[in-house]
């Protein structure tokens, strides 16, 4: 006999207690704990899982909340632009952005749960963290482990919008976006960097050109040579 699940707030409180009990935050044990709860929630309806996740996010456990949604098919597939922007509300660090974009927003874009116009609106945001989010969303389009098969047009469209952005966190994300595309369309990436030579940050150009030439972001560091 399956016991009824508690109210979403009560379950979120229990998960939060379990996360705190882990001590110093570490990805592996936190993910193992999340996986246990994902199994528990496998047959729950989408709205229940979303409610639990939102309550966790409100408690500061954003990654766990986002992962609960991503790993519940019904909850993930129910997402639309309003829901995604609500789940990403308040992101204010590279850690937040990369978790949100890699776990939810990018995969949602890849699977057609939001359109290009939404990502482009984020790229035009006055908030640098939403601009970074737009760029990190392109990773899903090009990362095979996430189901991406390469999307030159959509990736470069976002990079084009932000090529001259002066914020370091945005330039780092352009580098990431371009490096993920290299495996699919190295020629287009090389042409993009050449065309935006005067706009892109020196570090962005260096990292992407290293990737093009060697397959590595920082070949000297990878070889154990101090820069």
As for how many domains the chain has, the answer is 2
If we measure between CA atoms, which residue out of 169, 168, 137 comes closest to residue 155?
137
CATH of the domain at 215: 1.25.10.90
Q: What pTM, to 2 d.p., does this model score?
A: 0.91
> Are residues 101 and 35 part of one domain?
no
37 with 15: CB under 8 angstroms? yes
What's the pLDDT at 216? 86
Q: Are 207 and 109 within one domain?
A: yes
The per-residue pLDDT for 26 is: 85
The burial of 121, by beta-carbon neighbours within 10 Å (0-12 exposed, 13-18 middle, 19 or more buried), is given as middle
Q: Which domain holds residue 181?
A: 93-227
Q: Is residue 63 part of a domain?
A: yes
211 — phi, psi (to 5°)? Answer: -60, -45
Q: Which two tokens stand for residue 200?
A: 């892109």
Is the pLDDT score of 1 beyond 50? no
6 and 29 assigned to the same domain:
yes
**How many Å apart are CA 119 and CA 183, to the nearest integer?**
23
147-183 confidence digits (pLDDT tens) = 889 999 999 999 999 999 999 999 999 999 999 999 9
pLDDT in tens, 110-122: 999 999 999 999 9
Locate tokens 């919008």: which residue?
161
Residue 87 lies in a domain: no
Q: CA-CA distances (angstroms) from residue 74 to 35, 66, 139, 190, 195? A: 16, 14, 23, 40, 43
Neighbours of 64 (CB within 10 A): 24
pLDDT tens string 201-226: 999 999 999 999 998 887 665 444 33
In a domain, 8, yes or no: yes
How many helices (H) and strands (E) the chain has is answered by 14, 0
Out of 78, 112, 147, pick the residue that ends a domain.
78
Other CB atoms within a 10 A radius of the CB of residue 145 amount to: 6
Residue 152 lies in a domain: yes
């Amino acid at each position: 006999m399956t016991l009824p699940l508690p109210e979403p707030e009560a379950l979120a409180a229990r998960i939060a207690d379990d996360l705190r009990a882990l001590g110093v935050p570490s990805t592996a044990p936190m993910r193992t704990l999340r996986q246990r709860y994902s199994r528990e929630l496998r047959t729950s309806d989408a709205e229940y899982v979303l409610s639990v996740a939102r309550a966790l996010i409100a408690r500061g456990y954003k990654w766990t909340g986002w992962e609960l949604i991503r790993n519940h098919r019904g909850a993930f597939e129910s997402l639309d632009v309003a829901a995604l922007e609500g789940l990403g509300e308040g992101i204010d660090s590279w850690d937040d952005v990369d978790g949100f974009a890699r776990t939810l927003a990018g995969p949602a874009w890849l699977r057609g749960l939001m359109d290009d116009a939404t990502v482009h609106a984020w790229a035009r945001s006055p908030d640098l963290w939403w601009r970074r989010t737009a760029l990190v969303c392109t990773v899903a389009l090009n990362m095979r482990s996430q189901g991406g098969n390469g999307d030159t047009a959509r990736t470069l469209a976002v990079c084009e919008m932000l090529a001259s952005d002066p914020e370091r966190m945005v330039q780092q994300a352009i580098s990431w976006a371009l490096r993920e595309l290299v495996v699919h369309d190295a020629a287009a990436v090389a042409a993009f960097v050449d065309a935006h030579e005067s706009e892109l940050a020196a570090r962005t150009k260096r990292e992407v050109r290293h990737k093009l030439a060697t397959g590595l972001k920082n070949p000297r560091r990878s070889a154990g040579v101090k820069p």
